[in-house]
Amino acid sequence: NDLSWFWANQASPGLYTWWEGDGEENSFGRWEQVRGWVTPAHVTPHYWAAAEMLLLQLDMLASLDESGAEPVLRVGLGLPEAWLEQPMSVRGLPTRLGKVDWEWSNSRMTVRARGFKGPVELGPVFPPETVLRVRR
């Protein structure tokens, strides 16, 4: 839901930029001429907001849960169920404990965790009968 809202509410549709606030806090008297709007409704592009959006999308694909005694790699926590109707893959997704590749096809998830030795779990949209193969 969050991702859909952000995609639908871009400051400049198609440029994947968002805003923060309604006034420029770091203009140094010069940004007003280069941002592209004569009278901007808000500060955009705002790189902090864009970075948070990118991190959200990466976490939706795979992320480490370090809240327990040992880290758990969680794959696909934010995927919409409709996406499971077709094959998809991710390559070279960075985590703090190594890179992750995964491939979804024919009700089978293959995860390659480079540098990560802990458990791997799938997000809630994956059917219970999903076959999970983990390669190290």
Q: DSSP for 117-133, please give it.
A: -S-EEE-TTS-TT-EEE
Which two tokens mark 65?
Answer: 């849960």
Q: Name the more confident of 31 and 117.
A: 117
- What 3-state DSSP class applies to 103? strand
Supply the pLDDT for residue 2.
83
Supply the pLDDT for residue 52.
87
Does residue 9 surpass a pLDDT of 60? yes
pLDDT per residue as tens digits for the range 113-124: 999 999 999 999
Q: How much is the pTM?
A: 0.78
Half-sphere exposure of 86 (CA within 13 A, CB side): 4
For a pLDDT cut of 70, what percent of the chain falls above it? 82
DSSP 8-state symbol, 39: S
In terms of DSSP H, where are the helices of the chain? 2-8, 31-34, 47-61
